[in-house]
Structure 1
Amino acid sequence: MPHTWCPRTPAVLRRIRQTARSTPEHRNRYVDLLRALAIVMVVLGHWLAVVVTTDDGISGRNALGELGWSQPLTWLFQVMPVFFLVGGYANAASLTSHRDRGGDALGWVLGRTDRLLRPTSAFLAAVWAVAFAALLLDVPPEVVGLAVWAAAIPLWFLAAYLCVVVLAPVTHGLHRRWGAAVPLVLVGLVLVLDAARLGFGVPIVGAANYLLVWLTMHQLGYLWRDRRARPRPLVVAAAALGGCALLLGLTVLGPYPISMVTVPGQELGNTSPPTFALLVLGLTQTAVVLWLSRPARRLLRRPRPWTAVVAVNSVVLTVFLWHMSAAVITGAALYGTGLLAQWPVDSAAWLLQRVPWLVSVALVLAVLVVAFGGVEARTAPSSAGWRIRTASPIGTAAWRALLAFALVAMLAGLTGIALTGVHQVNAFTMAVLGSYAVGAAVLRLARHRWSGG
C-alpha cells in the first residue's frame, strides 16, 4: 500500500496547485467556495444528527426528534438552497459558452450530466454489490435494507438537481426572455400550492414543490450570473434581516415547523415536500451570500484559501455521495463492536462523544474519497459546441428520441432508488436500478459518440 500512495499523493497535490494557479482572472471564485461550503455543511449536519443504536440489532435514527433545542440550528446546516443557487450561476455560464460555440440544448445536457452520472453510477454499483454480497452471506435483509437506505440519502437532492440540469436549457431560455419575472412567478406558485395543501387540504399538489422550490433558487443563480442581483450591501443586509423576520413569523407563529429538515414524528416537514418556508430560507441565504461576496472574493485572491477550495471541489460530488456510507461503516465499526458507548441522546456524554464520532467518520470518508475520487476526475471533455446531428434527418430524430428516453429512464430510476426505504430490497429495487442503468448506459454511449465535438 505505501508504494501506491506515496508516489500518487504528491502528483494529486501538484495537479490541484497547478489548477489553482492557472485559474483565469474572470472566474468567480466565490461560487466555487459556496459550492464547497454547502456540501461540507450538509455532510456535517447529517453526521451530527446520526444516532446509532444496538439494543435490538444495529439500527439508527435522527437526533433532531429528541433534541428540540437543536432544530433552529438547521437554519445554518440546511444550505441546499445555496447549492442550487450556485448551480444556476454555473449552468448559465456553461450554457452561454456552449451556445456561443454553436452547440444545441441536448448536446449541453449530454455533456453537463457526465460529471454527475459517472460518480453516481460508481457509487450505486459499489453499494449494491456490497448489499447483494451481504444478503448472500445471510445478513438479515432488514439490516441490509436500512444500510442501503441510509447510504442512499444523498440521492434525494441529486435526483432533484439532475432534473433541474435537464430542464436548464428551457429555464435559461425563460430567463433570457423574462428575467426576474420567472423566479417571482415561481415563488408565487410555491406559496399558492402550500396554501392549497395546508389551508384547504388539497392532496398531491404539494409534490410539485419538490421541483419548483429548487427551480426558483436555480433561476436566482441565473440572475446573479447576469450581474442583475448586485444591490448595495445595506440593501441585501436589510433583505437578510427581513427574511429572518419572515421566517420567524412562518415558523413560530405560522403553520411551518422550525426545523428546515425532516424531523421524525412531525406531521409536517419543510423538505417533504419543500415548503414556502424553506424557500424563504433560501431567499434569505441568497441575501447573505450577496452581502458577503466582496470580503470573500478578496480572501480567495490569496493562494492558500483558493487552493483549498479547488481541492474540495475536485471531489465535491464524491464527498456528497459517500458521506452517509461513511457514517454507516463507522457506526457498525464503533457502536456495533462496543468501541463507543451508547449514551442517551440528550446527555452531555453523547454530545461530547460527537467529537470522536466526527473524527472517525471523516477518516472513513477520506479513505472512500481516495478510492472513488478518481472517477469524478475522469469526466468527458468540454461539451461546448456539441450538436446532436447526423447525416440523416431520420438518424438525428432517432438519436434525439433515444436520448430523451434515456434521460427519463435515468431520472425515474434515480428517483425510485431515492424512494427505496427500509426493508425494500425487492423487485421494485431491481426495477429502478435497471431503469437507471439502462438510461445511464445509453447516455454514456451517446457521450462517446459525440465527445469529439
Structure 2
Amino acid sequence: MRRLARLAAQTPADRERYLDLLRALAILLVVLGHWMIATIYYGADRRPDGHSALPAMPWAYPLTWAAQVMPVFFLVGGYANAASLASQRARGADATGWLLGRSARLLRPTTALVLALAGSALIARLVGAEPGQVRTVVWFATVPLWFLAAYLAVVPLTPVMYALHRRFGLRVPVALVLLVALGDLGRAFGPAELALPNYLLGWLAIHQIGFAWYDARRGNCIPLHGTHPAIDGTSNRTDPAAGNRIRTRCLPMSRRAAVLMITGGLAVAVLLTGPGPYPVSMINLPGQRLDNAAPPSVALLAVATAQLGLILLLREPAERWLRRSRPWQAVIAVNAVVLTVFLWHLSAVILLVGGLDGLGLLPTPAAGTRAWFAWRLPWLLMLSVVLAVLVTIFGPVEARTGRSTASRHHSTDQPATDRQHPADRPAAGQRQPDHRQGGVDRPRGDGRPTPWWTVALAVAGYAAVVYAMAANSVAPKAAPEPLGLPVTALVAYLVGAGTLRLLRSGWGSRG
C-alpha cells in the first residue's frame, strides 16, 4: 500500500489518468463477460465442455454493444503508442528501439503463459491424457491470444501510421473506414477474400483515433487557417512541414461532439443491424452470415463511435474522481497486472471446472434457465479466487517488466505503474546506472542508425510471434497436438520472442 500511495503521489499533473482507468475497466469487462456467458455441460464422452450462452438468449444481443470492448483497447493503445513513440524520439531513439521496448511488456507475461501451458500439456501427455483432449484444454486457455495477435500486428505500424496522421489528420481513419466498408461488400457479394484486410484495417482505424486524442491533449492541432488555443489550455503548436493543409489532427473533445458521436454512432448501428444485413450481436456467434468482430465490420465501427462519444462524455467527471488518492491507487494496482489478468482468466475457468468435476460437484444448468442465473454469483466468486491465485503466481513477471522499463525510460507517458519514484533516480549530474551498455533498451541518442541486421531481426522476430499466435488461434480445437499448441506455432513463438529478448539485451546492436 505504501508503494501504491507513493506512486499515486508522484503521478504527473498532466497525466491522462482516464486512459489507465479505461484500460483496467476494459480488461475487467472482458473477464466478467467471458465468465458470465460461459455454459458448462457434459459431452457424449462424459467430460466437461463449454460453449457461449448467447445463442440461447437472443434478447441479450444488444448488450454486446456495451460488452464488446476491443475498440477501447485499440483506442487506449493508440494514445499510449503515440505518447511513448514521441517520448522515445525526443531522447534520440529510433523506431526499432521503440518497438523492442514496447514488445517487452506484452511478451514477457505472454511467454509465461505459453511455457506454463506447454509444460502442463507435456505432463498431461506423460500421465496418459489423449492429445486431442490436451489440445482442447490448451485451445480454450489460449483464446485471449487471438486478440493479442491483432494488437501486436497494429503496434509495429505505429511509426508509419502516426506519420500519416500528422500529414492527413482525421482523414486517415475516414479512409480506413471506407476500406472496411469495401471489405464488407466483398463478404456480402464476393469475393470474400476482399474482407481479409479488415482484420487489420478495422483496428487501425480505431488506433488512429487514439493518435488524435493524444494530439488533442498535447495541443498538436493544425487549423485550416491561422492558429488558435488548443484544448485544455495548452498552446497550439504548428508543423511547418505540414503547413495549413489539414483542418485538424485533434479529436473533438467537447460535450457537443461527444453527444453527436453517441447519437450518430447508435443511429448508424441500428440501421445497419435492423433493416441492414449485419447481425445485432457484436460478438461472433455460430451460424451468422456476417461477423462483426472478426474481422471488424462497419457496424462494429459505428458502435465504437458511440462508445467513444460516451467515453468522452464521462471524461471530465472521471478525471476529477481519479484525482483522489484511493481511486487512483486502485487503478495503478490493477494496471500493474492487467495483462496477466487477461491472459489467465480462462485458465481459471479450466482449473475450477476440473476441480469441481473431480469432486463431483460441477453444476451444469442449461443456459438462460433460472438455475443457470442462480449459479452465476457463486460461479463468479469462485473464479475470482482462482484467478487471484494465478495472478499472485504470475503477476510479478508483468510487474517487474513494468518497473524495469520505467527505470530505463522515465517516461511520463508510460502506464502509471511504470513510473520511477524520484528517490530511485540518480541525483542531478550523476549518470544513470545501466547494466545493458549498448543495448537498445537504453536509447543511444548518438545519431547513429540502428544496424540493418538488428532491424531485420526485430521485424522477423516480431512477425514470428504474431504468426504463432494467429496460427494457434486458427488451428483445429481438437487437433492431436502433443504439447497443446501446434508445434510450428510454438517453435515460431519461442524463436521470435527469444530473438526480441536478445535484441533488447543489446545483442546485435553494436555496429
Q: Is this a same-fold pair by TM over 0.5?
A: yes
Please name the residue that 1:208 is paired with: 197
Q: State the distance in 2 between where 1:135 and 1:406 align.
A: 30
Corresponding residue to 1:183 among 173, 189, 192: 173
Equivalent residue, structure 2, for 1:6: none
Q: Deviation at 1:389?
A: 9.8
Q: TM-score, normalised by structure 1?
A: 0.92
Q: Which moved more, 1:413-422 or 1:82-91?
A: 413-422
Partner of 2:207: 218
Give per-residue Cα distances to partners, 1:314-361, cap 9 Å, x unaligned: 000000000111111112222453324221212111111011001111
1:235 and 2:288 are equivalent in the alignment: no
Q: Name the counterpart of 2:355.
A: 333
Counterpart in 1 of 2:470?
415
Quickly say closer, same or farther: Cα 1:388–1:159, change in 2 above 3 A: farther
Q: Secondary structure at the match of 1:113?
A: helix
- For residues 222-253 of structure 1, the C-alpha deviation after alignment (integer angstroms, 9 at most, x for no partner) is 00111122342133113202211211111121
**TM value normalised by structure 2:** 0.82
Match for residue 296 of structure 1? 318
- Which residue of 2 is the match for residue 41 of structure 1? 29
The two structures, once aligned, show a CA RMSD in angstroms of: 2.2
Partner of 2:495: 438
Residue pairs, 1:33-432, within 5 angstroms: 33-55=21-43, 56-198=46-188, 200-227=189-216, 228-335=250-357, 337-379=359-401, 380-382=404-406, 384=409, 386=442, 396-426=451-481, 429-432=486-489
Equivalent residue letter for 1:447: R
Give the Cα–Cα distance (whole angstroms) in 1 for the partners of residues 385 and 62 of structure 2: 28
Please state if 1:31 is matched with 2:2.
Answer: no
Q: 8 Å contact 1:53–1:335 — kept in the other structure?
A: no
Amino acid aligned to 2:113: F
Q: 8 Å contact 2:93–2:445 — kept in the other structure?
A: no
Query: Mean Cα displacement is larger for which, 256-265 or 363-372?
Result: 256-265
Unaligned runs of 5+ in 2: 217-249, 410-440
User: In structure 2, what is the Cα distance between the partners aligned to 1:17 and 1:135?
Assistant: 47
Residues 272-321 of structure 1: CA distance to partner in whole angstroms, max 9, x if unpaired? 22211111111111111111111110110111111111111000000000
Between the aligned residues of both structures, percent identity stands at 46
Q: Is the 8 A contact 1:240 1:288 kept in 2?
A: yes
Amino acid of the structure 2 residue aligned with 1:27: R
SS of the counterpart of 2:274? helix
Deviations 1:38-91 (A, max 9, x none): 111111111111111124311111111212112211111111101110010111
Q: Which runs of 5+ in 1 are unaligned?
A: 1-12
1:344-389 C-alpha deviation (Å, 9 max, x unpaired): 2121111110110011111100000000000001224356585589
C-alpha spacing 1:124/1:412, structure 2 compared with 1 (3 Å): same
Query: Which deviates more, 264-273 or 234-243?
Result: 264-273
Structure-2 change in CA distance of 1:95 and 1:368 (3 Å): same
What is the CA deviation profile of residues 7-51 of structure 1, one whole-angstrom value per residue up to 9, with x for unaligned ones?
xxxxxx332222122111111000000000111111111111111
SS of the residue aligned with 1:378?
helix
Change (3 A) 1:389 1:31: closer
- Name the structure with the higher helix share: 1
CA distance in 2, matches of 1:388, 1:154: 35
CA shift, 1:421, in A, is: 3.3
Paired residue secondary structure (2:93):
coil
CA distance in 2, matches of 1:112, 1:125: 21
Question: What is the count of residue pairs matched by the alignment?
Answer: 439
- Code of the residue aligned with 2:179 in structure 1: it is L
> What letter matches 1:16 in structure 2?
L
Q: Are the equivalent residues in 1 in contact too, given 2:92–2:444 (CA < 8 A)? A: no
